[in-house]
A and B are shown apart, each in its own frame.
Chain A
Amino acid sequence: MNISDNNPPIAIHCESVSKKYGKIHALKNINFDVKRGEIFGIIGPDGAGKTTLFRILTTLILADSGIATVDGFNVVADYKEIRNRVGYMPGRFSLYQDLTVEENLEFFATVFNTTIDENYELIKDIYIQIEPFKKRRAGKLSGGMKQKLALSCALIHKPSVLFLDEPTTGVDPVSRKEFWGMLQKLREQGITILVSTPYMDEASLCDRIALIQNGQFLRIDTPENIVGQFADILWAAKSDNMHKLLEDLRNDEQVKSSFAFGNSIHVTVENGQLTVDSLKKYLIERGHNNIEIQPIEPTIEDCFMELSNTQI
């Protein structure tokens, strides 16, 4: 039986959720729904409010105001029910360092009234990679292995909704790719996944995303739609003196913004103002050689930067 069969079509519902810590407004009026079976990404930098949102939804802290439900259960009134049915992998490694790999997994299985054998199928692909080290203490595992164990422990009771708070932070690009591969497979088994990340390039691996900064959602949509709604014209510029190029671009009043993006500089221009040729001419006058300027498709990072520039 697919995990999603008996659950409502909206896995997570959040309505006007706000939370303050003293004077700091950690979350301001958060509204969103996560559909059953989605991978939904909360994307934004440290301090944006991602962890606060996860703690409210996993019933670990209370919101100041607003309503939130998981699988139709209210995070305040029905917190016990929610704790039984969700899996949560916090940002900080939170397994028992002095227990072995196997003991940790067994512990979590027991707490949730199940056994490793009963749900082995669900964790098999992930756990098999650390099984050779099952007698090793969790504290002695490498970062990548800890991550796999934490995910196995969060899954062992066959949760309907999985909360992953920054599972890939500090993880190298190869291991990150592998981790996202694991998430795609879990989705195929019907698990709904809410995942947060500061890495903008991971946005395209989600079905829908919310861009978050300073406790506010800047936008909620599919990655494709967010890219499609980019309001400005975007060019990638290169010359043989990239450092000076950035300076000269910033000194051009018709350029709205310019930031380094790997081996080029992304330049935004407001509709219908500057042309590629006139910008080239301006740069030639300032002594640049081998100038290349090309219109390009924005990335999620471009969108995030544009939205955070205009809204906050």
Chain B
Amino acid sequence: MDTVIKVENLTKRFGDFTAVDNISFEVKRGEIFGFLGANGAGKTTAMRMLCGLSIPTEGKGTVAGYDIFRQPELVKKSIGYMSQKFSLYEDLKVWENLELFGGIYGMSDKDIKIKTDELMVRLNFEEERDHLVKSLPLGFKQKLAFSVSIFHHPQVVFLDEPTGGVDPITRRRFWEMIYDATASGITVFVTTHYMDEAEYCDRVSIMVDGRIEALDSPANLKKTYNAKNMDEVFQQLARKSTRKAD
């Protein structure tokens, strides 16, 4: 298996505050990589660097084969991104959102059309195709936002708390979509505050005060910390935090 994300000694400082402190890790192709940490641990800053949105202060890093220092634009083209605040245009129709994002990522009109048709069938969305996004129920929007983020078949998709606030069944259906994406070769990098979802990841890293305090499979982490579930692992590690910022 080859490597999709590789960072070495990555650091980001804002003035005299070190938001991300010398982190190193690799993510393999097709992996579901859980990126956990308390509020203020540095997750968002680290994720912004990996997405080519923020230039690191020190260290090295490649995402999808591109250097995050020198080729941030190429990084952006090769990844997908979805946050809890769905990045869909509410006043556009379902198909218009797909066309817009497909176009931005440089897909051909023909390709957009074929993939839109295919997606509408797969999601059972054919009736909603011409509906404005703002009229859709929350669960639909979430499915669509995720589909938009991987519409251009990125090498890796970054999901920033994608399941916040949704009902328990929709939340689980969403993870089933994540599995389907990895089956098609997409690597998934995901943050969450639901510790049961940490169990669904192949490997999990836990950040505390800007550093990666632990990184392993959920099974190994539970063994190492003598914990019965990932919540206990998280509570043990995050309590070490001395940082009180966000």
Contact = CB atoms under 8 A, between A and B. Distances in A.
A246 B175 CA distance: 12
A170 B37 CA distance: 12
A277 interface: no
A311 B78 CA distance: 43
Contact of B234 (A173, A198, A308, A309): A173
Interface string B28-54: 000000000111100000000000000
Interface in B223-246: 229-231, 234-235, 238-239, 241, 244-246
A305 B238 contact: no
A143 B39 contact: yes
B19 to A, nearest CB: 12
Interface stretch (B117-125, B150-158, B161-169): B161-169
A44 interface: yes
B193 interface: yes
B170 interface: yes
Contacts of B218: 263
B15 interface: no
B11 to A, nearest CB: 21
Interface string A41-78: 00011111000000000000000000000000000000
Kindly state the interface size class of chain A when it binds its partner.
20 to 34
Given A143-B39, A145-B244, A262-B230, A301 B193 contact: no
B244 A174 contact: no
A172 B137 contact: no
A304 interface: yes
Contact of B39 (A46, A48, A142, A259): A142
Given A174-B239, A175-B39, 18 more contacts: A44-B167, A45-B166, A46-B138, A144-B39, A169-B164, A171-B39, A172-B38, A172-B193, A173-B231, A173-B235, A174-B38, A174-B235, A198-B166, A243-B179, A260-B200, A262-B195, A262-B229, A305-B168
Interface of A: 44-48, 141-145, 169-175, 177, 198, 200, 213, 243, 246, 259-263, 301, 304-305, 308-309
Top 4 A-B pairs, shortest CB-CB distance: A142-B246, A45-B167, A46-B165, A262-B196
Interface of B: 37-40, 84, 137-138, 161, 164-170, 172, 175-176, 179, 193, 195-196, 199-200, 218-219, 229-231, 234-235, 238-239, 241, 244-246
